[in-house]
C-alpha cells in the first residue's frame, strides 16, 4: 500500500512561525488530511470546525447552480456557526476557556 507523507506539502503557519502561538486556523490542513484518510474522530479532535466547514463548502458549491433564498439563509447560518466553532475551539485550545 502506498503511503504519502503529506506533512512535506503543507503550508506552515506564519503566525506560529513569527509569534510562536497557534492561529485560529491551525490544524485545518492536518484535519483535512485525516478526513481523507478516513480518521473522522481524529480530524474532529484536530480541528473541530472541519465538518461545519465542509458543509459550508458544499453549500457554496451548490449555490453556484442554485442561489435560492433558502440556500442563502442556510449559507449565512453556516457561516455564523463556523465563526463560533472556530472562536470557541481556539479559546479552548489556548486555555482561555476551561471545560
DSSP, residue by residue, 34-90? HHHTT-HHHHHHH-TTHHHHHHHHHHHHHHHH---HHHHHHHHHHHHHHHHHHHHHH
pLDDT tens series, the chain, 99 aa = 666 777 777 888 888 889 988 899 999 999 999 998 899 999 999 999 999 999 999 999 988 888 899 999 999 999 999 999 999 999 999 988 887
> Nine-digit cell at 43?
480530524
DSSP conformation class of 24 = T
How many CB atoms within 10 Å of residue 34? 21
97 close to 91: Cβ distance less than 8 angstroms: yes
56 close to 78: Cβ distance less than 8 angstroms: yes
Amino acid at each position: 500500500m502506498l503511503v504519502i507523507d503529506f506533512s512535506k506539502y503543507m503550508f506552515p503557519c506564519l503566525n506560529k512561525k513569527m509569534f510562536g502561538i497557534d492561529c485560529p486556523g491551525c490544524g485545518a490542513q492536518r484535519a483535512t488530511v485525516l478526513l481523507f484518510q478516513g480518521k473522522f474522530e481524529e480530524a474532529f479532535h484536530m480541528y473541530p470546525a472541519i465538518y461545519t466547514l465542509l458543509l459550508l463548502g458544499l453549500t457554496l458549491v451548490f449555490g453556484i447552480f442554485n442561489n435560492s433564498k433558502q440556500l442563502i439563509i442556510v449559507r449565512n447560518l453556516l457561516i455564523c456557526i463556523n465563526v463560533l466553532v472556530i472562536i470557541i475551539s481556539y479559546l479552548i485550545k489556548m486555555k482561555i476557556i476551561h471545560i
